[in-house]
Structure 1
């Protein structure tokens, strides 16, 4: 019965990934990241994505802090944060987050504060959606591994 549960979870994971690819949330870079995971590093993707989450939260705080400062005028500094966000999003395959960062950077290059505020709001939305969906995926994976790994002793 547990093996069936593990198989059902694997199918659910595949459906969720297919949805995220269909929605443009993820791209093929995420699959390449998954291919780097093996028995010697079974939590590789989880660890890389958690580092991404940690760094992204700092970048979001920094961007919000810059934009909420009434005296703000350092669009160059904002561009540096956005370039970091673009690079890290690209490295895990966060396609929609990356696209919003590119639009955000364009607004910052035009010193468009209103456009930057709208882009920040959209970025926070896309980031939260990505984070929630990847956490859901990792929870399914953890449940699948547990279900597949349960072994009952042989009865005589």
Structure 2
């Protein structure tokens, strides 16, 4: 019985991934990231993506703060933040987020405040969608691991949760 539940959850994961690829949310870099995960690092993808989320939230806050400051005029600073965001998005396969960063950077290179604000809104939307969908994917993966009876990730997840509370 456990095997059937695990296989159903694997099928659910594959459907969600197929949707995200079809929508252009993710690209093949995400699959390459998954290939780096093995028994010695069973939570590798989750850990890398969580670092990406943590750093991206800081970048988004900084970009919003820059653009909300009426006196702001250092568009090169925005470009530097966007380059960092593009690089980290590319490294996890976040294709649509990366593409919005490219458009955002074009607006910043033209010192186009209105264009930058529009691009920031779109970037926040795409980032939120990506985060929600990857969170959903990781929840299904965790359920699949539980259903298959594999124990090693559970201990790691428990340890991580305990460390978060410290």
Per the normalisation by structure 2, the TM-score is 0.90
| CA drift at 1:3 | 1.5
1:55 corresponds to: 55
1:140 corresponds to: 140
Gaps of 5+ in 2: 152-166
1:124 aligned onto 2:124: yes
**8 Å CA contact 1:2, 1:150 repeated in 2:** no
Equivalent position SS for 2:72: coil
Distance 1:3 1:27 in 2: 29
Equivalent position SS for 2:111: coil
1:110 aligned onto 2:110: yes
Per the normalisation by structure 1, the TM-score is 0.95
2:99 corresponds to: 99
* Greater radius of gyration (CA): 1
Distance 1:38 1:150 in 2: 13
Equivalent position SS for 2:100: helix
| CA drift at 1:2 | 2.0
Cα deviation per residue 1:29-73 (whole Å; 9 max; x = unaligned)?
A: 000000000000000000000000000000000000000001010
Aligned in 2, Cα 1:33/1:110: closer, same or farther, shift over 3 Å? same
2:10 corresponds to: 10
Moved over 4 A (4+): none
